[in-house]
Structure 1
Amino acid sequence: MKLFLLLGSISGFLSVALGAFGAHALKEKLDEYSLGIFHTGVTYQTTHALALVLVALLLKWYPDSSGLVWAGWCFAAGTLIFSGSLYTLAMTGIKVLGAITPIGGVLFLAGWALLAIHAWKVVS
């Protein structure tokens, strides 16, 4: 699906830009703990940008796979919620945002599980 390739590409681009922003512009503004939180958001965003690209490529071969489509949406929403909440937490210090982060983590897990189920069906 072209949409997942686009989302993955944009997310990958933003993860590199945000990683550079965190390493250079935020280095003097945030403490080490907050920088670590920000870096965790970047790492997970980068990983799941690649997962979105993978889903897009797999959908070329398996265009009727609803499991792949759901995996893609889980990766996209998980990135927004997980990484987005960590970026906001790191930059604002609003601790309640830490309660939202696990929702994104569960979406990541669901995406990977759906990808595994798809692989199991294809290989079987």
Structure 2
Amino acid sequence: MPIFNMLHSFACVSGAVGVGFGAIGAHALKAKLNAHQSAAWSTATQYQLMHSLALLYALSLPKSSAVVAASYAFATGITLFSGSIYGLCLTKTDNPIRKLLGPVTPLGGISFIVGWVLLAYAKRPPSLRR
């Protein structure tokens, strides 16, 4: 399926970006971010890397509607959760975009949770399948 090739590429690029952003946060932004922002940046990179791997795992499973939905949920979570935190860390407090980014972060977190639940559902034991 072409969509799985696109999601596979997304996961790999996301992993590379996560490593790069982790290094940027630890070095280039170290003096520019306060302690709270630095911790948030670190969380964003950790979640991005963790869920890039989860997406790659999901894409390795036999394709089902639950696996497809989990894959999209992980990709959405990476984009919304990590992306919004990066944006919040890089914008000034008075920037109006922050009013949009703040509420986006929990939507990304919910997407991650949905992805994990869908993976559990996709791999449920045969005795629970109908």
TM-score (norm 2): 0.85
What is the rounded CA distance, in whole Å, between the counterparts of 2:59 and 2:26 in structure 1? Answer: 30
Name whichever of 7-16 and 90-99 sits farther off: 90-99
Backbone CA RMSD of aligned residues:
1.5
1:3 and 1:123 mapped to 2: Cα distance?
33
Secondary structure in 2 aligned to 1:120? coil
SS at match of 2:123: helix
Residue 99 (structure 1) aligned to one of 93, 96, 103? 103
Structure 2 residue runs without a partner (length 5+):
none
What is the letter of the counterpart of residue 114 of structure 1?
A: L
- What's 2:118 paired with? 114
Higher Rg: 2
Partners in 2 of 1:99 and 1:121 — Cα distance? 36
The gaps in structure 1 that reach 5 residues or longer are none
Larger helix percent: 1
1:46-85 equivalences under 5 Å are 46-58=49-61, 62-63=62-63, 65-85=64-84
Which amino acid counterpart does residue 73 of structure 1 have in structure 2?
A: Y
C-alpha deviation, 1:122, in angstroms: 5.3
Shift of 1:71: 0.4
Partner residue of 2:85?
86
Q: Tell me the residue number matched to 2:17.
A: 14
Q: Deviations over 1:57-115 (max 9, x none)?
A: 11xxx13x011011000000111000000001111144532221100011111110100
- By how many angstroms is 1:15 displaced? 0.2
- In structure 2, what residue type is equivalent to 1:109? I
CA distance in 1, matches of 2:13, 2:127: 31
Give the match for residue 37 of structure 2: 34
- CA 1:36/1:120 → structure 2, altered by over 3 Å: closer, same or farther? same
Give the 4+ runs in structure 1 shifted more than 6 A: none
- Taking the aligned partners of 1:50 and 1:123, their CA distance within structure 2 comes to 28
How many residue pairs were aligned?
A: 120
Letter in 1 for 2:115: G
